[in-house]
Structure 1
Amino acid sequence: MTKVVLIRHARSSANASAILAGRLPGVGLDDVGRDQAAALMQLLRGITPSAVYTSPLQRCRETAELAGWADAEVIEELTECDYGSWSGRPLDELRGLPVWEEIQRTPSTVAFPDGESMTAMAERVVAAVAGLAARHGDGDVIAVFSHGDPLKAVLADALGLSLDDFQRLHVGPAGVSVIDYSGPRPMVLCVNSGSGVAGLVNASHGAPTVGGGDIPK
């Protein structure tokens, strides 16, 4: 197993407009997002991943390319949650719906109309990331570009949290998180970091120790 660097796509045009993009085609990065993605190249300096994987959606592929990994392998299972008929709608409008509160408090009970359930999304992406980590050996590092809710689901799983607790986590655009899968259980090294990632990735972790939510998608 290996260390996995999880990277949320940089700010998209939908993020900037507070639109729930979901899997709609043609949603790319805005100018701020392109700057964020380019800055990832400097942030992640010192990391030489054995492989780089990305969601098929444009905003993730653009982020990977601007971060220096234009050859990232597309993995369909890393894609965004299918928000069904919610896709493309303003978040301010969606916040007024009764089910919004369920999404915040008990997301495991929610299925989007004509779309995917939160539970199915979480199971899909958690299995995908674990499977990608298992392809590689101890000491390897891989990078994974995906989306806010899928990455929060992966982090919640690694932390031993239920899906109903995943809204306690925040992963912003271009946010970087790291999970070490090489030990007896996953170890979360950082969440939504903007600095010092290389030091965490390159350090030795995994031994027993003691004593020691973004609305736009």
Structure 2
Amino acid sequence: MPHAPCPIPDFTRVILVRHAQSSYNAQKRYQGSCDDSVLTDKGRSDAYQTGVALRDVRIDAVYTSPLRRVQQTVVEILRGMKVEKPVFTSAHLKEIDMPAWQGLTYKYVQEHFAADYRCWKERPHEFQMIPQVERQSRSAICVQQQCFPVLDLYDRADQFWQEILPLHTGKTILIVSHSGTIRALISTAIAIKSEQYHVLQQSNCGISILNFSTLKHQQPQLEAMNITTHLSEVLPKLKDGKQGLRLLLVPATDTNPHLINQLAERLQAVPIDFSLNSDLESSQHTTEQLLKYHPKTVQIQVLHQYFPQILQQKFSSQRATISSNETDSTHFITGLIVACPSIIQNLLRQVLDTSPECLQLIPDTLSVIYYPLKSLTPVLQAMNINNS
């Protein structure tokens, strides 16, 4: 569970939660803005646990999507929190509109809409979809109305922030919505381009936190992203059949050995193939503590000033290793990266292509970046996982 103190008066805190597992999630179908999907039994249980995790957080207002899977999630979250709150529904918080794919399985879309799917994954800001065919009442002329789903979603997210934030200055609001919508909300808040739409993972019931300064000329900050530890997940899950390189990033400060020991215990069951740390004393000590349950992990120590270059070389060599095992549909490599906070923050900034001032890196936490083998777009799976 991410840090959740009461917000200081100079900030408006926004907690974002994706809805719990739905029937379409379980069936691996595209949902979009259709309302046919409802929560599974697992979804209801996970939503309740999310409420339990948020029980000590004072929430001043709740905003949700109007779609059933979100409404059902909110009921369970509030039940877990043991509070009653007025819930405000906003059409801006609906999921991305994907009318041509809604209800279809992921596999069917990949096979029957191959070119469109490739555009969706590689150039989401250019992705177009024809939502409907309208016929004039007295003719057979078809009018095809094209839309840009991702761009439209970003416009909705912008409108939501403009309308809602002025109403809750210095307060804490809870937003329960959808994967695509939360990505757009975070992206528009901290200036991640629509080209990077797929860079943020959003798991069912994943918790993210944004802080909006009430002072002029200060950028919003992302404090936590896609935290799922309250669901007994050590790390956010990868989708089935993924290949690639996963990096576990830990900023070394050597200020709280207790938290590092807790993190080591959390990572005990996670296979770690290699570690890379700088020669700074704090990085060395943190690495030793984190790997005390991983005696076979290959450890590499690098001079601090050469760390970025060596990391890039290691990154390229590991991707080449994975490529040579391409017949293994589930092969991926996990590396532990321990370095000073500035290096870790720069890695996150490069992935998100945003200003470092927009990222609030918390000491003694864990962030996870996944580099898919067959994609040029890395994925931030989580940021600032802690042990509270």
If the length of structure 1 is used for normalisation, what is the TM-score?
Answer: 0.85
Deviation at 1:163, TM superposition (A): 0.8
Separation (CA, whole Å) in 2 of partners of 1:209 and 1:11: 29
Other structure's SS at 2:196 match = helix
Are the counterparts in 2 of residues 2 and 134 from structure 1 also a CA contact under 8 Å?
no
Q: What is residue 177 of structure 1 aligned with on the other side?
A: 208
Distance 1:2 1:187 in 2: 11
CA RMSD of aligned residues (A): 2.6
The answer to whether 1:150 aligns with 2:181 is yes
Task: Name the aligned partner's letter for residue 107 of structure 1.
Answer: P
2:138 is equivalent to residue 128 of structure 1: no
Greater strand fraction, Structure 1 or Structure 2: 2
CA spacing shift, 1:210–1:107, aligned 2, 3 Å? closer
Partner residue in 1 for 2:15: 5
**Deviation string, structure 1 residues 103-155 (Cα, Å, up to 9, x no partner):** 112111112221752101111123213432221112x1000111101111122
Fraction of identical pairs, as percent: 23
C-alpha change, 1:15 and 1:79, in structure 2 (3 Å) is same
Distance 2:69 2:197 in 1: 23
Structure 1 position 208, deviation (Å): 10
Task: State how far apart, in whole Å, the 1-side matches of 2:126 and 2:182 are.
Answer: 19
1:106 maps onto 2:123 in alignment: yes
Partner AA of 1:120 in structure 2: D
What is the rounded CA distance, in whole Å, between the counterparts of 2:211 and 2:40 in structure 1? 32
State whether structure 2 residue 93 is matched by structure 1 residue 78. yes
Contact 1:65 1:71 in 2 (8 A): no
Structure 1 Cα separation of the partners of residues 70 and 105 of structure 2? 21
Query: CA 1:100/1:189 → structure 2, altered by over 3 Å: closer, same or farther?
Result: same
Rg: which structure is higher? 2
Partner of 1:95: 110
Gap runs ≥5 in structure 2: 1-10, 79-83, 133-146, 231-356, 364-378, 381-388
| Residues 14-67 of structure 1: per-residue CA shift (max 9 Å, x gap) | 000001112222311001111110101111121111100100000001111100
Code of the aligned partner of 1:134: P
Query: CA, structure 1 residues 163+44, in 2 after alignment: closer, same or farther (shift >3 Å)?
Result: same
Partner of 1:202: none
> Could you tell me the TM-score, scaled by structure 2's length?
0.49
> Counterparts of 1:208 and 1:120 in 2: how far apart (Å)?
25
Q: Which residue pairs with 1:194 in the alignment?
A: 228
Secondary structure of the equivalent of 1:164?
Answer: helix
User: Is the contact made by 1:126 and 1:157 (CA closer than 8 Å) also made in structure 2?
Assistant: yes
CA contact (8 A) 1:7 1:145 kept: yes
Q: Which residue of 1 aligns with 2:172?
A: 141
**Aligned equivalent of 1:162:** 193
**How far apart are the structure 1 equivalents of 2:361 and 2:92?**
36
Residues paired across the two proteins, number: 204
The whole-number CA distance in structure 1 between the counterparts of 2:204 and 2:153 is 19
Q: Of the two structures, which has the highest relative contact order with CA contacts closer than 8 Å and spacing of 6 or more?
A: 1
